[in-house]
């Protein structure tokens, strides 16, 4: 997934050589999953010789909310986190598409499950990154036998490290059976999301996606697509529960997220979706999204933070937001 190890990391309040960013094997987060993380992308624009960080304010808002769920006190605002990330990217001198991973973790050493008290650690790394899953003809997914964790188990709206064991079990079993990824159902038997991505379906001319109250992540890419599909493609998007059998009857399906970006799904459980090939709307969504993240659509420039431009400013909130809850 990475071409080479990072040269630097933001660790314990400063940028240090990557090799110096180390924790003890007795660190509590390592034993109990008491950590949270984020995932941001930087997109290189050849036309402008600039690296753009996509919606960093929104990513770090969610990151701080995830930390809050774990009773963490990081002592940094999202503006400060964005600033440290921009500084790290400049130190790393990345001039290609990249991925940024912030991680907050319970840093005390010792045995015993606890959230309150003790020290909270923070690290950020960045590295070159292209496609998470290469599937030019569309992905083949399966509905997992594992149930998605719910809000009264491990809150799925946060990127809580321990909850990704749930995702790992789904994905491992799916890949062992010859599929590319898995789709998770919630405790009510309704569609939640893919193992590490949100999900959209097109059925009878209307795009639908499970609500954020449906045991899924409050995805930044998901919220971006709701806005972009309605504004740029003049297609209605509704947030509603989706039944399993609706997947088999959909005209098009795609999954989305920071890592996977937009990945069309052409088969589920050996059943073709629509015509069994990438649909026209999914293809348009991918194209429009790439224009947005690379700065080619002026309407969404406020979603981007330039890394190298002199006097680069932190990206502000988008001028246009969907009225739906995120």
Annotate 187-224 with DSSP letters as a single string: TTSBEEEESSSEEEEEETTEEEE--TTSS----HHHHH
Q: Identify whether the C-beta of residue 155 lies closer than 8 Å to the C-beta of residue 70.
A: no
The number of residues making up the chain comes to 326
What lies within 8 Å, CB to CB, of 300 at 6+ separation is 228, 292, 318, 320
Find out whether 1 and 82 touch, Cβ atoms under 8 Å.
no
Are the C-beta atoms of 210 and 190 separated by less than 8 Å?
Answer: yes
Q: In sequence order, what are the residues at sequence separation of 6 or more whose Cβ sits closer than 8 angstroms to the Cβ of residue 172?
A: none
State how far the Cα of 293 lies from the Cα of 288, in Å rounded to an integer: 9
**Would you call 61 a catalytic residue per the annotation?**
no
Distance between CA 110 and CA 23 in Å, rounded?
12
**What is the C-alpha separation between 199 and 174, in angstroms, rounded?**
17
Q: And the tokens for 158?
A: 């946060």
- The single residue of 22, 68, 159, 317 carrying the catalytic annotation is 159
Closest among 293, 217, 284, 296 to 257, alpha carbons compared: 217
The stretches of 37-163 forming alpha helices (DSSP H) are 56-69, 78-92
User: Measured between alpha carbons, how far is 193 from 195 in angstroms, rounded to an integer?
Assistant: 6
- Residues annotated catalytic, as ranges: 159
């Amino acid at each position: 997934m990475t071409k080479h190890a990072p040269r630097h990391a933001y660790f314990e309040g400063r940028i240090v050589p990557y090799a110096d960013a180390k924790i003890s094997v007795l660190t509590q987060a390592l034993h109990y999953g008491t950590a949270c993380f984020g995932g941001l992308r930087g997109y290189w624009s050849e036309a402008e010789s600039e690296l753009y960080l996509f919606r960093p304010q929104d990513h770090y808002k969610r990151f701080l909310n995830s930390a809050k769920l774990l009773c963490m006190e990081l002592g940094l605002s999202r503006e400060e986190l964005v600033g440290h990330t921009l500084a790290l990217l400049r130190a790393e001198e990345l001039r290609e598409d990249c991925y940024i991973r912030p991680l907050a973790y319970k840093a005390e050493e010792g045995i015993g499950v606890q959230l309150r008290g003790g020290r909270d650690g923070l690290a950020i790394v960045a590295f070159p990154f292209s496609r998470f899953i290469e599937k030019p003809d569309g992905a083949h997914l399966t509905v997992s036998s594992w149930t998605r964790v719910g809000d009264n188990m491990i809150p799925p709206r946060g990127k809580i490290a321990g909850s990704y064991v749930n995702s790992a079990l789904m994905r491992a079993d799916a890949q062992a059976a010859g599929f590319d990824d898995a789709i998770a159902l919630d405790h009510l038997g309704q569609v939640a999301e893919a193992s590490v991505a949100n999900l959209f379906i097109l059925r009878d001319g209307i795009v639908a996606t499970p609500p954020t109250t449906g045991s899924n992540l409050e995805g930044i890419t998901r919220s971006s697509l709701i806005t972009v599909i309605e504004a740029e493609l003049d297609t209605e998007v509704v947030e509603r529960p989706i039944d399993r059998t609706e997947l088999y009857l959909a005209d098009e399906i795609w999954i989305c997220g920071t890592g996977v970006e937009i990945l069309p799904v052409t088969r589920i459980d050996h059943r073709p979706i629509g015509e069994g090939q990438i649909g026209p709307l999914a293809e348009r969504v991918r194209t429009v999204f790439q224009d947005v993240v690379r700065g080619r659509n002026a309407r969404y420039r406020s979603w981007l933070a330039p890394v190298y431009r002199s006097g680069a400013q932190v990206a502000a909130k988008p001028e246009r937001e969907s009225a739906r809850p995120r």
